[in-house]
Structures are given as C-alpha cells and as structure tokens.
Amino acid sequence: GSSSAGEYDYDLFTIGAGSGGVRASRFASTLYGARAAICEMPFSTISADDLGGLGGTCVLRGCVPKKLLVYASKFSHEFEESHGFGWAYDTDPKHDWSTLIANKNTELQRLVGIYKNILKNANVDLIEGRGKVVDPHTVSVDGKLYTAKNILIAVGGRPSMPDIPGIEHVIDSDAALDLPSKPEKIAIVGGGYIALEFAGIFNGLKSDVHVFIRQPKVLRGFDEEVRDFVAEQMSLRGITFHTEHSPQAITKSNDGLLSLKTNKETIGGFSHVMFATGRKPNTKNLGLEEVGVKMDKKGAIVVGKIIRGLQVPLAFIVTMTSGFFVIYLSLLG
C-alpha cells in the first residue's frame, strides 16, 4: 500500500525500465495506489554503462528485433521452395540489409513510445538517467536524489565475454542486431539457443555461417532428440558446425578479416566473429555493495529465505520475468 504523502518522494522507485520494471511499477500504481517512479538510461540499440532505453533487453536488444530479423531471413528459404510450386524468377531476389535495420529501428522507436504512454497512463513518473542506490530509501539519478519507501532493482542482464586475446574484435548479440552491414562470413561461438538463432538468421540472409561449440552437441540441457534434429537440419541448410572447439584467441589481419584460434585449429577469413556465450547480471556500479548487498563473482545478488518477523536491515526477493531477474529491496519492520 501507499505511504503517507511527504514521508518519501515515492512509495516505489524502480531502477530499470524493461519488461519487469515497467510492469511492476504500473501495477503498483494502478492496482495498489502507490506513488511510483522508474528510471532508465537514454535510448540506444546497443547497451552500455550509460545507455539503455525504455523497454529493456526484450524490446530493444532481444525478442522483438530478433524476431524481425528471423522474419527477414525466412524469405530466402521460401523463395527456394517456391520453384517446386511453379514459380520462376528472371533474377534472384536481393536483400538490402540497411533497409531491414532502418525499419527495425523505426519499430523499436514506436515501441518505446508505447511504453512511455503506458507509464504515463499509469501515473508512473519516468526519470531518464542512470540510477544508483545511495541507502535503503534513497536513489541517485545522475546526481539528483529521490527517496522511496521501497526500491526495486530490475536491471536484467548483459552479454558476457571471455577474457581472451583479441576479444575487442568480437561482437555480441546486442551488436549483431544493429550491424552497419551484413556479415559475409561469420563465426558464432556458442552452442545455446541465442547462438543458434543468430546462425539461422545469418544463414537465411545468405551469410557463410560457422558455429563453434565446446561440447559434442548443441543445446546442452535440451532433449537429446531435439539436439540431434536441430543440428542435422541446420547443417542441411549450409551451416558448418565445429564441435569440441574452445576459443583461445582472435586475430585481425591487414585486410580486416578475422581469424579464430581454438584448441584444435585456426580458421580465418571471417568478416565477423560473434560470441554468444552467456549473460551476466547488469548490477555493476549500482551502489549495491556500498549498502551492504552481497554479490557473487558474476555480480548476481546473493539471496536467501526471508522469514516474517525477522529483524534485518535489508531484504531481497528475487523473481523471474522474461528470463531476467528482478530484485525487490525493502526494509523489514
């Protein structure tokens, strides 16, 4: 419920305006009458320490743009299959990457506008800037202080990269969705679903795609028959798999092309090398350590059971939303 006006600026202050943060903030306002605010960094298609955007990973650098690229990539297969149904083309269809990316970004801006209206209609104050926890009831947004009865951390995650030589030449899933030009030949390191989604996208857009995985099979943890079938079908479409290859270094030649060195061999001629090797919590520089929040080596918040009536200074409740973590920070009385 809402607190008495004047005790704090807000009942709920959320750091992170992705799917989880926006939903929590507007429901707190509309369903429970809480005075709510949410902060988010300025818009960018590629995230950075000081750039993000309303909508978060799912809207700007995940589900939505990925699906648009998937839709674009599927047409090439339909063109090929259409010949068996009597279709003939005087010339092969051509794809313009710049048109796809421009229209994708236009759609993202439209969705950002929708999210702004959702928050406005829910009477949630949107504050642009990077939020940092100062104490259990205070958040600093680019130096301006706001007080709140409750603070919600809904910052999601970011792609993680291994610390190997030449990693500065590598792109991640953020950058892969906003490249200035289509890869001619791309090495994708990783055997999870993100790596395979991008392999399918670039293959459908007629890139030469090589997938490097450390395991004997793709999609570790998935059903065995699914793992075999997916790899088989992707191979039939022209994707080359390099199994049991652990990346060791990336080098760039004078002609700008990249080579990937693994534990087995070095393969070159790549216009792009992409790593899809996991994600990490986006909790860096949020001030959580300064207020006594324990973090593990990956930056995830260490949490335990919360017992009613237990007198502790801070409590955290972790829930899942759209595949990313949301942490609820409050004083227990």
Mean pLDDT of 75-102: 95
Residue 314 has pLDDT above 90, yes or no: no
- pLDDT tens-digit series, residues 54-84: 999 999 999 999 999 999 999 999 999 999 9
- The Cα 89–Cα 83 span in angstroms is 9
In the numeric block, which tokens belong to residue 126?
């949107």
Q: Provide CB contacts within 8 A for 236, sequence distance 6+.
A: none
| pLDDT value of residue 98 | 97
Counting every residue written for the chain, the total comes to 333
* pLDDT higher than threshold 50 for residue 166: yes
- Name the residue among 333, 328, 330, 331 with its Cα closest to residue 154: 328
Amino acid at 56: G
Put simply, whether the predicted model's pTM sits higher than 0.95 gets the answer no
Domains of the chain: 10-158+280-316 (3.50.50.60), 161-277 (3.50.50.60)
SS3 81: helix
Read out DSSP for 243-266? Answer: TT--EEEEEE-TTS-EEEEESS-E
Strand 185-189 vs strand 208-212: parallel, antiparallel, or unpaired?
A: parallel
| Cα separation, 257 vs 255, whole angstroms | 6
Q: Are 99 and 180 in contact (CB under 8 A)?
A: no
Write out pLDDT tens, residues 267-298. 999 999 999 999 999 999 999 999 988 888 88
